[in-house]
């Protein structure tokens, strides 16, 4: 039977597509957590103008933050280091 995740001997295998989807889900799960924390707390460090914006307006940034969370995390970390050294 083609496309099955179980071989005839009963060993469970993962197809490349299922591995990709699991990794993609993990990427977006981590991005959601980081995005929520960033939008609620961390956006003030990167963009002082956004600090005065209401929370509902800052949530507009959430989808973009989720998708590029490694870059956002890097910028946030860089700003925290720069703020603590001065």
Segments making up each domain of the chain, as ranges:
27-85
**CA atoms of 23 and 28, how far apart (whole Å):** 9
Query: What's the pLDDT tens digit per position in 35-74?
Result: 999 998 888 888 888 878 888 888 999 999 999 999 999 9
Residue with token string 């600090």 = 51
Q: What is the pLDDT of residue 7?
A: 53
Nearest-CA neighbor of 46 among 17, 85, 80, 71?
A: 80
Q: Which residues are registered as beta bridge partners of 12?
A: 6
Tokens of 51: 């600090």
Q: What is the mean pLDDT of the chain?
A: 84
Nearest-CA neighbor of 69 among 28, 39, 25, 31?
A: 31
Predicted TM-score (pTM) of the model is: 0.74
**CA atoms of 29 and 21, how far apart (whole Å):** 12
């Amino acid at each position: 039977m083609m496309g099955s995740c179980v071989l005839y001997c009963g060993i469970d295998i993962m197809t490349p597509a299922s591995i990709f989807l699991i990794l993609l889900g993990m990427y977006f799960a981590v991005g959601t957590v980081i995005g929520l924390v960033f939008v609620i707390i961390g956006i003030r460090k990167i963009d002082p103008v956004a600090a005065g914006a209401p929370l509902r307006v800052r949530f507009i940034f959430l989808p973009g933050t989720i998708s590029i969370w490694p870059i956002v995390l890097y910028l946030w970390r860089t700003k925290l280091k720069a703020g603590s050294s001065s």
